[in-house]
């Protein structure tokens, strides 16, 4: 069983930065983890994903080059560094985890079937 608690959201101006954190309790070895977001009136979408036992991270095209996903050495915290924020990045951001080793694509809908989700943290970017 895995519990996820996000923090770090807030309000920033366009061009600013935020760092989200997701504290994870439970065994995260061999786990697919990711950040997702949902804006009002829109579907939830994948932002960045990672496999805790190694391998390259995956990013959505809309955040590639601006956001970076990482994990603590102890694999108990997942981060999302967000730079050059844009108004269109405004959304509720969620952390998610599911058993590996086969991780869905960052845009894969199977992320939304099962697994574990946090309660979300709001990011608001003003122009």
| Residue 117: CA count within 13 A, CB half-sphere | 14
- The Cα 1–Cα 11 span in angstroms is 32
pLDDT reported for residue 114: 85
Q: Is pLDDT of 30 > 90? A: no
CA dist., res. 36 & res. 117, Å (int): 10
Is 40 within 8 Å of 53 (Cβ atoms)?
no
Q: What are phi and psi of 110, to 5 degrees?
A: -70, -15
pLDDT in tens, 43-76: 999 999 999 998 889 999 999 999 999 999 999 9
Sequence-ordered list of residues with C-beta below 8 angstroms from that of 11, at least 6 positions apart, any chain: 124, 125, 126
CA 54/CA 71 separation, integer angstroms? 10
Tens of pLDDT, residue by residue over 73-115, are 999 999 999 999 999 999 999 999 999 888 999 999 999 998 9
């Amino acid at each position: 069983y895995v519990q996820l608690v996000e923090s770090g959201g807030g309000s920033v101006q366009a061009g600013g930065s935020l760092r989200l954190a997701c504290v994870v309790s439970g065994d995260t070895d061999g786990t697919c983890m990711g950040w997702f977001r949902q804006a009002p009136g829109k579907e939830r979408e994948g932002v960045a994903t990672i496999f805790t036992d190694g391998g390259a991270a995956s990013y959505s095209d809309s955040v590639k080059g601006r956001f970076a996903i990482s994990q603590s050495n102890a694999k108990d915290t997942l981060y999302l560094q967000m730079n050059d924020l844009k108004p269109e990045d405004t959304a509720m951001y969620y952390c998610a985890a599911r058993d590996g080793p086969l991780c869905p694509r960052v845009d894969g809908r199977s992320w939304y079937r099962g697994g574990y989700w946090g309660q979300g943290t709001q990011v608001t970017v003003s122009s």
